[in-house]
Chains A and B, each alone.
Chain A
Amino acid sequence: MAKGDPGVTTRGRRATPRTRKRASGDPELVQLLTPEGERIESVTGPDGIEYRADFTDEEYRGLYRDLVLVRKLDAEATALQRQGELGIWASLLGQEAAQVGSGRALRTQDMAFPTYREHGVLYCRGIDPIMPLGLFRGVDQGGWDPNEFKFNMYTIVIGAQTLHATGYAMGIAMDGKTGTDEGEAVIAYFGDGATSQGDVNEAFVWAGVFNAPMVFFCQNNQYAISEPLERQTRIPLYQRAAGFGFPGIRVDGNDVLATYAVTRTALDNARYGQGPSLIEAYTYRMGAHTTSDDPTRYRIASEVEAWQAKDPIARMKAFLTNQQLADADFFAEVDEQARRESVHLRERVLAMPNPEPDTLFDHVYPNGSPLLDQQREQFSRYLESFEGSAH
């Protein structure tokens, strides 16, 4: 999909939480593409904003390609874990649209703070999908330069990144980098379980009070590992934003078009200096929490089947087919590309070198330290005491 500014054409006016009217507990949902693949022209959200997403044919196909590739690469990583090549993997299966829709809504200058499951967002940022796999293979610490990619490091601690993101966003505002079309915005990803964390609530407070250019993007996949949503909250999650003084909205997280439209609007609001918002992308984790988890122990099959019918890729495919935007050749070509890229990814994962033992002394201090130098020296002497040592 082309970068720049395609897509959302309308930026709605912004109502304050006080004056918004909404039936409490009503699971209102912004949706532009139904599970059957029917396109809805535009939707006026409960916040009074009209959401539209007008894409070119090429862009529609591009979104489909993203969804398929992201799913395939994720499946490959799951397979690699089952084959003992990764220590663990957190699959995004089922959440592709939430990640592609929001990831593609980001502009180049925007900054993203992921959890450990945002492989789809990472892909949409144009980052090589191999980048986080060293962490899961245990051959590196999962470090990269967040500034280079405008994509923070994967954060394992639940919810911690929302505070980092809020601080970053406050910095943007203080640097005067908001208020124009070129303004910067920050998006923080987290899950439904994280909303019970103190960190996330603190981030809400700070972002709200400081009017930080933030989008809190909650992928509500219904389970915090095994804990269902109803044990996390008494009201729909998006409604929590009202208490912190900024708008919240629920979008169909399996609808890539609606997710794109809602995220783009929220990001633009942030970049123009209108403060934070909370997006609840209503979706479902089709797989396990991680490869160490067995979801059949706490979910019933019929629930999974019901969500299967809302599959993000199937509805996009139905839409492209019905609108004659794509034919069988196109779908076959996308599948082939996905297969190629996944094989390529596998080969590169298997070829990842094991780190040298003394690299554990790297990156502790930016300019080193005499004590560490001494320890490194002792450690290499110890290693050299073995036969066949390369040192």
Chain B
Amino acid sequence: MSRIKEFNLPDLGEGLTEGEILSWLVKVGDTIELNQPIVEVETAKAAVEIPAKWAGRVQAIFHSEGTTVEVGTPIIAIDTDPGAGPVDAPSTAAPGGDLPTPSAASLAAVEVAPAEGMVEPGLIGGPAPGGRTAVLVGYGPRTTAAKRRPRKGAVPEQAQPAAAPAPAAPVPTAPVPTAPAAGTNGHAAPTGGLVLAKPPVRKLAKDLGVDLRTLTGSGPQGSITREDVQRAASGAAPAELLAGAAPAVAAARFGADREQRIPVKGVRKLTAENMSRSAFTAPHVTEFLTVDVTRAMKALDRLRTRREWRDVRVSPLLLVAKAVLLAVRRHPMVNSTWAGDEIVVKEYVNLGIAAATERGLIVPNIKDAGRLSLRELADALTDLVQTAKAGRTSPADMSGGTLTITNVGVFGVDTGTPILPPGESAILAFGAVREMPWVHKGKVRPRQVTTLGLSFDHRIIDGELGSKFLRDVGDFLADPEAALLAWT
């Protein structure tokens, strides 16, 4: 047993596949004790400290802070007997520990993690279309290493690399334990869509070492048949399956070119996906309306002085929310979803409020906001904002939105052309309320003015409907009392 041991990132929850290194609590050369916290890792479920599995001295740290690491990848090497003199092969670990991959030399003395087994796409535990991991119930996708032994009496040509067919020769413990993106047999980088094959065929493919993703099915609906698999096992091999056997060269990190590379993940990744999806599927139209909201601001001031409203946070956003909810009642089509061959119009309004948080943009929504009284709406808004600021917004809070307000005014800008949250048909941008010269009763007066920007899905909402809706929101904000009297 080697004295240098590598610690692989374990599955810290149930069925997690990766974790982000938040911070290293030790550095190369440190002497550490058993169970001493060495690193803080954040997974989809929690940020946790990992205690050292062995006492000894830190020999190498393989991933820098901020890196997302796959479960099963070595993250640290520990010399468990530092008193016994230098290790045969010198470590190339840099002080401060920022090594993308251990060099082959440094690994001479290192125990090697078993290569991971192949998991087929579409299967439970295998990557599903879209990169998700398909899990029905239980403890999630298989993340531990699975080494496959060769079958007795395997087809002879498997042994000859020249004629080597598809079944990637059972991988002996590979010399490169890290490099998650490297090997042919990691479950990294699922490509292609769902592979259709009956379970016995999948089993056969697995036994023969055939990657179903590389086959074209000849069965019904393009499904892969037993014959397809057998043909692949005895016939030609896709070359790329064997290509990855060479040790991966670690990607160089940029430094001298004065560019920073920020990995796209978490909220940023989700935001990007949603925005692209929406922008390129729903034809957006944006209209603007500038409104004198002086009366509304005065109404808010009066509201604040009322005893029962004393402890309530009253903001202009509250009035905008109320305006939107009332206008939806008059134009229900605005609160709808394009569902391909039908339009789903909703009676309930789950009112989304875009919020900038430390983690990025999130859009929690107030469920069934149309049923709330103004007071309840105020409380719900306050609660929503505080929850978002504290980073405690739950996925349930963020799903099911039907109509959204984005309060860009808080950043001091006048308006914008917001992009629809996927599945919604309208989003209102609420700009800054400014004191501006405005013609009021025939004279130019300083008045409080704001600009509203409404983007809507032109597949559902015509210019007329969009304009009427926006106009109603504006009318309410121009004179809330009159609108209330007229509409309700």
Contact = CB atoms under 8 A, between A and B. Distances in A.
Interface string A76-119: 10010111110110000000000000000000000000000000
A34 interface: no
B139 A87 contact: yes
A292 B13 contact: yes
Contacts of A389: 149, 152
A274 interface: no
A385 B34 CA distance: 42
B150 A292 contact: no
A288 interface: yes
A140 to B, nearest CB: 16
A366 interface: no
Contacts of A85: 10, 53
Given A82-B51, A83-B53, A294 B45 contact: yes
B438 to A, nearest CB: 46
B10 A83 contact: yes
Contacts of B8: 84
Contact of B46 (A83, A293, A343, A384): A293
Interface in A373-391: 384-389
A297 interface: yes
A293 B152 contact: no
B149 A291 contact: no
Interface centre among B34, B35, B150, B152, by most chain A C-beta atoms within 10 angstroms, is B35
Contacts of B10: 81-85
A292 B44 CA distance: 10
A298 interface: yes
A200 B152 CA distance: 54
A387 B392 contact: no
A288 B46 contact: yes
A82 B35 CA distance: 10
B364 to A, nearest CB: 15
Interface string A277-294: 000000000001001111
Given A82-B49, A83-B50, A294-B47, A386 B14 contact: no
Contacts of A296: 46-47
Q: Is the interface of B mostly helix, strand, loop or mixed?
A: loop
Contact of A387 (B7, B46, B51, B149): B149
B150 A386 contact: yes
B318 interface: no
B11 interface: yes
B354 interface: no
Interface string A214-229: 0000000000000000
A385 B151 contact: yes
Interface string B135-154: 00001000000000111101
B14 A88 contact: yes
A216 B234 CA distance: 65
Contacts of B45: 292-294
Contacts of A288: 46
B47 A82 contact: no
Nearest to B391: A297
Main secondary structure of the interface of A (DSSP, over half): loop
Contact of A297 (B11, B53, B139, B392): B392
Interface string A48-73: 00000000000000000000000000
A343 B34 CA distance: 10
B50 to A, nearest CB: 5
A385 B50 contact: no
B150 A82 contact: no
A387 B152 contact: yes
B59 to A, nearest CB: 17
A385 B149 CA distance: 10
Nearest to A388: B149
A9 to B, nearest CB: 42
Nearest to A75: B35
Nearest to B49: A82
A291 B11 contact: no
B163 interface: no
Contacts of B48: 82, 291, 294
B14 A292 contact: yes
B333 interface: no
B12 interface: yes
B13 A386 contact: no
B456 to A, nearest CB: 35
A232 B8 CA distance: 40
Contacts of B9: 84
Given A82-B49, A82-B50, A292-B45, A87 B149 contact: no
Nearest to B152: A387
Contacts of B14: 87-88, 292
Contact of A84 (B11, B47, B151): B11
A79 B35 contact: yes
Contacts of A294: 45-48
25 contacts: A79-B51, A82-B48, A82-B49, A82-B50, A83-B7, A83-B10, A83-B50, A83-B51, A84-B9, A84-B10, A87-B11, A87-B139, A291-B13, A292-B13, A292-B45, A293-B45, A293-B46, A294-B46, A297-B392, A298-B392, A343-B34, A386-B150, A386-B151, A387-B151, A389-B152
Interface of B: 7-14, 34-35, 45-51, 53, 139, 149-152, 154, 392
Given A87-B139, A292-B13, 20 more contacts: A76-B35, A79-B35, A81-B10, A82-B12, A82-B51, A83-B10, A84-B9, A85-B10, A87-B11, A88-B14, A291-B13, A292-B12, A292-B46, A294-B46, A294-B48, A386-B149, A387-B151, A387-B154, A388-B149, A388-B150
